[in-house]
Amino acid sequence: MKLKARLLEAAEIERALRRIAHEIVEKNKGAEELALVGVHTRGIPLAERLSSLIERFEGVRPAVGVLDITLYRDDLSEIAVQPKVRETRIPFDITNKPLVLVDDVLYTGRTARAALDALVDLGRPQRIYFAVLVDRGHRELPIRADFVGKNLPTSRQEVVKVKLNEVDGEDGVELWQR
Amino acid sequence: MAALKHLLDFEGWRRSEVESLLETARLMEEVLERPMKKVPALKGFTIATVFFEPSTRTKTSFELAAKRMSADVVSFAVSGSSLSKGESYKDTLLTLQAMVLDAYVIRSPVAGMAHQAAGWLRGSVINAGDGRRAHPTQALLDAYTLLDELSQLEGKKIAIVGDIAHSRVARSNAELLPLLGADVWAAGPVGLLPEVLKGARLTSNLAEALSDADAVMVLRLQKERMQDGSLPSIREYISEYQITAERMNLARPGALLLHPGPMNRDLELAGTLAEGSHSRVERQVRAGEAVRMAVLYHLLVGRAA
């Protein structure tokens, strides 16, 4: 793979997250009862950052849960490589709560579909919002995000790499050619 | 790492593979703690439980594990089947295969049955006990239960007590636990000890095995052993080898007590110990379901070419 472009720098990610945090609070009319659920791997630090930002703006810190969608993938009977199951830890009752599902990249929509199925198996949230840092298009399912950091038109031959300090040691979004 | 296709015993298994499977089991246990204990992971897979020997808990545990993963389960028990009309094991399995199955959980009184079946069948074979040879998922759930509290088995002393010679549970544990670094001892009366047990130190001196043990694994004593003469008398067994509160004191304080079930209370184990503070018998049952979910996931997912 070849690096084609650096799409977002650390400061732009920070600004996008701040805007999303404001939008979440505005749309939800406050942060009471609100909880965030980050999808493995990079959805988790994004959810933590959004929770901290919301706390800074509203004085209320939304709880953060961790969701692994591996057991909900729609291709487990067809794939040749076994995906590793990771931790799901949602230390609060999601029933009747407004939830924000958080992921780094929205692409085909299949991860979001799996995440929604996993969440409704865990309880009955009052509603589920969907926040992503990057929407790169090419949906294969009727899924859209409520909050988007940046819309980035890409081709299917390209790979969008989100790097976050907590996981990768630096913040940035890169475009790679397959 | 090539995905393993069968679970027959632990020959050829690497420590990292066992650890990865036990880690998946830990994550599966989170599913079992949910109000709705089911995930769609094995939707579209069909699993047969084929028991040529009666068993309730192992069969139920496997079937429940498969259902928690959304697999379809067919159950074939020897009573009322064609086997009683003289159909061979092989024919029975090939008939099941014609129904397009992905995995076969096989229990048989014949040692080596699961290995043979793996040669006949296209799907994955999981050994649920073959004669006195192996019972790998029991050993996995024992390891899981031990790890749950000891956090690692490196250098831990595990004493297996009872009818070692006829026990597939002892054999599988003696294979698995040393792979995870444990020091395994097997104790019982001379008539119930095998010549050798690979992976374990054999002794007829119970105190030696129990001394400073981190865990004691008590085996079920089968009453047939009196008839075949390998054990002279029950009374003698009880006085020399029954695990009592007093004997548990030889082990480390807080040592764990395991039993694969079903238990003969007041025979191999003083009845009150089963519910006592040492006992992890209930924990083993829950662990069994999580471990079997993990085994199904590891054997079935990622096999498509």
Which of residues 17 through 76 in chain B touch A, CB cutoff 8 A? 20, 24, 27-28, 30-31, 34-36, 38-45, 69
- Which of A72, A87, A123 lies closest to B39 in CB terms? A72
Domain boundaries along the sequence of chain A: 2-177
What is the pLDDT, as a whole number, of residue B3?
Answer: 63
Average pLDDT for residues A20-29, to the nearest whole number?
A: 98
The model's confidence at residue B83, banded by pLDDT at 50, 70 and 90, is low
What is the pLDDT, as a whole number, of residue A87?
Answer: 97
Q: Which of A75, A77, A120 to mutate to test the interface with B (most CBs of B within 10 A)?
A: A77
Take residue B126 and report the two structure tokens written for it. Answer: 């999981």
Take residue B233 and report the two structure tokens written for it. Answer: 């008398």
Would an 8 Å CB–CB cutoff place A87 in contact with chain B? Answer: yes
Flag if A78 and B3 touch (Cβ within 8 Å).
Answer: no
Residue A85, Cβ density class (10 Å: 0-12 exposed, 13-18 middle, ≥19 buried): buried
Give chain B positions within 8 Å (CB) of A85: 24, 27-28, 297
What is the pLDDT, as a whole number, of residue B1?
Answer: 42
Domains of chain B (ranges, CATH numbers): 15-134+285-304 (3.40.50.1370), 136-284 (3.40.50.1370)
Average pLDDT for residues B76-80, to the nearest whole number?
A: 71
Flag if A71 and B39 touch (Cβ within 8 Å).
Answer: yes
The model's confidence at residue B146, banded by pLDDT at 50, 70 and 90, is very high
pLDDT digits (tens, 9 = 90+) for B14-55: 999 999 999 999 999 999 999 999 999 999 999 999 999 888
Whose structure tokens read 């297996």?
B160
Top-confidence residue, A42 or B231: A42
- Which of A78, A85, A117 lies closest to B27 in CB terms? A85
Flag if A81 and B302 touch (Cβ within 8 Å).
Answer: yes
The mean predicted confidence, pLDDT, of chain B is: 93
Would an 8 Å CB–CB cutoff place B12 in contact with chain A? Answer: no
Would an 8 Å CB–CB cutoff place A26 in contact with chain B? Answer: no
Q: By percentage, how much of chain B surpasses pLDDT 70?
A: 96
Which has the closest alpha carbon to B95: B76, B80, B79? Answer: B76
Would an 8 Å CB–CB cutoff place A75 in contact with chain B? Answer: no
Would an 8 Å CB–CB cutoff place B100 in contact with chain A? Answer: no
Flag if B30 and A72 touch (Cβ within 8 Å).
Answer: no
The mean predicted confidence, pLDDT, of chain A is: 97
Is pLDDT above 60 for B80? no
pLDDT digits (tens, 9 = 90+) for B93-123: 998 899 879 999 999 999 999 999 999 999 9
What is the pLDDT, as a whole number, of residue B225?
Answer: 73
- Which of B43, B45, B302 lies closest to A79 in CB terms? B302
Top-confidence residue, B241 or B304: B241
Average pLDDT for residues B253-280, to the nearest whole number?
A: 94
pLDDT digits (tens, 9 = 90+) for B160-197: 999 999 999 999 999 999 999 999 999 999 999 999 99
pLDDT digits (tens, 9 = 90+) for A97-151: 999 999 999 999 999 999 999 999 999 999 999 999 999 999 999 999 999 999 9
The model's confidence at residue B85, banded by pLDDT at 50, 70 and 90, is low
Take residue B95 and report the two structure tokens written for it. Answer: 């008939």
Whose structure tokens read 């003083």?
B270
Q: Report how far residue B129's alpha carbon sits from residue B166's, in angstroms, rounded to the nearest whole number.
A: 12
Contact A121, B36 (CB under 8 A): yes
Flag if B27 and A89 touch (Cβ within 8 Å).
Answer: no
What is the predicted ipTM? Answer: 0.93
For helices B15-32 and B57-68, the axis angle rounded to 10 degrees is 80
Which of residues 45 through 74 in chain A touch B, CB cutoff 8 A? 68, 70-73
Take residue B193 and report the two structure tokens written for it. Answer: 């000890």
The model's confidence at residue B79, banded by pLDDT at 50, 70 and 90, is low
Residue A35 φ/ψ, nearest 5 degrees: -140, 150
Chain A to chain B Cβ contacts (< 8 Å):
60
Is pLDDT above 70 for B127? yes
The model's confidence at residue B303, banded by pLDDT at 50, 70 and 90, is confident
Is pLDDT above 50 for A21? yes
Would an 8 Å CB–CB cutoff place B3 in contact with chain A? Answer: yes
Which CATH number is associated with domain A2-177?
3.40.50.2020
What is the pLDDT, as a whole number, of residue B92?
Answer: 87
Flag if B302 and A85 touch (Cβ within 8 Å).
Answer: no
What is the pLDDT, as a whole number, of residue B4?
Answer: 87
Is pLDDT above 50 for B262? yes
Flag if B304 and A78 touch (Cβ within 8 Å).
Answer: yes
What is the pLDDT, as a whole number, of residue B54?
Answer: 85
Flag if B27 and A88 touch (Cβ within 8 Å).
Answer: yes
Flag if A72 and B41 touch (Cβ within 8 Å).
Answer: yes
Is pLDDT above 70 for A173? yes
Average pLDDT for residues B280-291, to the nearest whole number?
A: 96
* Residues near B199 by beta carbon (within 8 Å), at least 6 away in sequence: B174, B175, B177, B178, B184
Would an 8 Å CB–CB cutoff place B86 in contact with chain A? Answer: no
Flag if B41 and A70 touch (Cβ within 8 Å).
Answer: yes
Give chain A positions within 8 Å (CB) of B305: 80
Report angle CA B236, B259, B76 to the nearest 5 degrees. Answer: 115
